[in-house]
Amino acid sequence: MKSHFFKIIVLATFIFSFIACKKDGTAQTPTNNNNIPNTSQTIISEYFPNAKIIKIEKKITPDNDGTVYEIKLDNGFEIEFDANGKVTDIDGNHQRIPDGLLPKNILEYVQAHYPNLFIVEVDYETYGYEIELNNDIDLHFDSNGNFQSVEDNH
């Protein structure tokens, strides 16, 4: 009887886990770097050499911007990648995004127009870039990195 009850519990757990993964379009995978593309591994090791991956989620269906992998690091950064390992979003959670992860002309624009501020989030969209500064100002750039507009969220 106990064996039969145990089998039912295990089966129910598996079914509910499967349904939960399907509902939000993600499946959590182990935090092993081998589960993400080599390009993603290189970016993480180059720009966040002391950080450890604490969570990897792989989407069953890519987002509109191509995001397949959502990765959380123990230093607070959250990085999203497409299936090929290209960055689609970086959220520093109020920390400065490493300069090397930003298009040069966007970085130069921010340094010239907002010299006392820094970039804490970048969304790589199909039409361009959305940049958030550490004072909650959002800057919009086209796909070539040319400034388009500013949005003050104060």
DSSP letter at 73 equals E
Residue 72 lies inside a defined structural domain of this protein = yes
The values of phi and psi at residue 105, to 5°, are -70, -30
Q: Per residue in 93-119, pLDDT tens?
A: 999 999 999 999 999 999 999 999 999
Residue 19 lies inside a defined structural domain of this protein = no
User: What CATH number does the domain containing 97 carry?
Assistant: 3.40.1420.30
- Residue span of the structural domain in which 89 resides: 27-152
Q: How many domains in the chain?
A: 1
Residue 12 lies inside a defined structural domain of this protein = no
Residue 119 lies inside a defined structural domain of this protein = yes
Cα 44 from Cα 23, distance rounded (Å): 29
| Contact status, residue 79 vs residue 44, Cβ threshold 8 Å | yes
Residue 6 lies inside a defined structural domain of this protein = no
Of 142, 22, 31, 99, nearest in space to 40 by CA: 31
pLDDT of 32 reads: 57
Cα 142 from Cα 137, distance rounded (Å): 17
- Given a cut of 60, whether residue 15 has pLDDT beyond it is no
| Contact status, residue 87 vs residue 80, Cβ threshold 8 Å | yes
Residue 3 lies inside a defined structural domain of this protein = no
43 vs 126 pLDDT, higher one: 43
Residue 20 lies inside a defined structural domain of this protein = no
How far is CA 29 from each of CA 7, 17, 57, 58, 121, rounded to the nearest angstrom? 24, 13, 6, 7, 25
Residue 124 lies inside a defined structural domain of this protein = yes
pTM of the shown model: 0.77
